[in-house]
Amino acid sequence: MSKTNAAPAPASRQQATRAVFLAKGALAGGVLATGVLWLGGRTGRAAQAPSRAQDERIFNFALGLEYLQAGFYAHAVEQGALSGELLEFAKTVGEQEREHVAYLRDRLGTAAREEPELDFGDLGADADRFARAAFVLEESGVAAYIGQGANLTVEAVRAAAPIVAVEARHAAWISDLVGRVPAPRAADAAGTAAQVQAALEAAGFTYPG
Amino acid sequence: MGEPAKTPEVIIPTLERVDRDGALLEALDAAVGRTRAEFLRRAAMGSAALLGALAAPATAAGAPPGKKRDTAILNYGLAFEYLQAGFYTEAEQLGTIREMSQEQALWARTLGAHERAHVRILKKVLGRSAVGKPSFNYRGVTEDPDHFTQTAVAMEDLTVALLLGQAPRISDRGIRAALFSLLTVEARHAAWARHIIGVRPIGPALDRPKTLQGVDRVVRSTHFIVSRPRTSRSASPRFTG
């Protein structure tokens, strides 16, 4: 796995509050964080040479995340604990994640992993828990795609880019809903597969491995 | 300034109208070829046509893959980051941001800081190959909070489309990957801006490139272009944003 900079989405130990934005953090953190990814060398340290086979592995990893997202949002809507904009988020974004699942399955063809059995425990039982979990989920998705960017072939980059942009929009929306700055950094951080899985587990998810 | 009478609808400028010194045209030309550049400059900034055209996979126009094309594309990106940074900076300087609510002002200032950071990042990567800071005319849009915000939505979407279309054309995969981390931020900006103006923060499930067919051209009759100083390569421009 390529070594990448910085941690991905914060784990659930960070309490999301309903307070309006943290003014200092938004500006200070943004500017300072920019240098890291870009000054770390052009091709990155130990970024793995792209190949079709590797694209497949990476897309299946991404597909796992999309299954998790699609499944969680559908589950949460069923639980009936959501209302207002949070419900709208779960419904609309859930639908989009299902489209992402279809898109990645289509690209992977017979190599696509099967839909896993998922158990969300009580993560969707109430609005606050849902929102915090969804935040980690979306931020993990963004970090994961960025983390794998250098390992993809050009064709895979072209295929992945439309999803990546939309995941970032999702992340911005849910950030707003949990009272966080929708765009906290000038350049988003990358996450390795291991980091992403750890963040998900800390939030109470099990990445379908 | 020769502006038409105000209508209830916000008139979002075309790139051509803000491109005071032709810097955007030059950058676009080098990256995507003159014909496409001309088209792109005339389409309304927020229009589906422009977004589709920007995001669409490149044709044979422009240089073959390699460092020269990478440079052209990154300079194209830099020109757009200058466009955005200047937009937010001007609104700050004119006091327009001060007129906004606390929440909206935070949004505007954060995005301005990010865009200025993006300028610095791209300049650093490009080194001596970086284009100089262009001169833009924002057509009064930076003077009014509502016009400003609506135009910002268009501009952020534009930058997302641009990065989507161009990132795959970069031959250096480290840079290609790093552009992902700017792409996601611009997409966050766009979603945040929409939330600010009270519309749903997301669009379609996939920011998919469209074809150039069936486009809708909005041609503005007047634009203001000043001939560009030739010193851009030798001097390191001081960015005062």
Of A42, A165, A183, the CB nearest to B175: A42
Stated pTM of the model: 0.78
pLDDT in tens, A50-100: 999 999 999 999 999 999 999 999 999 999 999 999 999 999 999 999 999
A178 at the B interface (CB within 8 A)? no
Provide the chain A residues 135-154 that lie in CB contact (below 8 A) with chain B.
142, 145-146, 149-150, 152, 154
pLDDT in tens, B25-43: 777 777 777 777 777 777 6
Please tell me the predicted confidence (pLDDT) of residue A1: 37
Q: What distance in Å separates the CA atoms of residue A125 and residue A63, rounded to the nearest whole number?
A: 25
In this structure, which amino acid lies at residue B180? F
A162 at the B interface (CB within 8 A)? yes
Which of B121, B123, B180 has the most A C-beta neighbours within 10 Å, making it the best mutation to test the interface with A?
Answer: B180
Name residues of chain B where pLDDT drops below 50: 1-8, 58-61, 210-241
Please tell me the predicted confidence (pLDDT) of residue B217: 26
Rg (C-alpha) for chain A, rounded Å, is 17
Per-residue DSSP letter, A28 = H
What are the C-alpha distances in Å from B42 to residues A84, A132, B58? 40, 44, 19
Of B117, B176, B184, the CB nearest to A188: B184
pLDDT per residue, tens digit, chain A (209 aa), is 333 333 333 333 333 332 222 333 333 333 333 333 343 333 334 467 899 999 999 999 999 999 999 999 999 999 999 999 999 999 999 999 999 999 999 999 999 999 999 999 999 999 999 999 999 999 999 999 999 998 999 999 999 998 999 999 999 999 999 999 999 999 999 999 999 999 999 999 988 76
Provide the chain B residues 170-189 that lie in CB contact (below 8 A) with chain A.
172-178, 180-185, 187-189
Provide the chain A residues 2-61 that lie in CB contact (below 8 A) with chain B.
20-21, 23, 26-27, 30-31, 34-35, 37-39, 41-44, 47, 50
* CB < 8 Å to A165, chain B: 160, 163-164, 183-184, 187, 207
Residue B189 burial (C-beta neighbours within 10 Å; 0-12, 13-18, 19+) = buried
Q: What distance in Å separates the CA atoms of residue B227 and residue A125, rounded to the nearest whole number?
A: 63
What are the C-alpha distances in Å from A6 to residues A107, A136, A189, A195, A202? 30, 16, 6, 10, 17
* CB < 8 Å to A181, chain B: 106, 110
Q: What distance in Å separates the CA atoms of residue B18 and residue B137, rounded to the nearest whole number?
A: 5
Share of chain A above pLDDT 90, in %: 71
A185 at the B interface (CB within 8 A)? yes
What are the C-alpha distances in Å from A171 to residues A2, A143, A185, B218? 24, 10, 13, 33
B54 at the A interface (CB within 8 A)? no
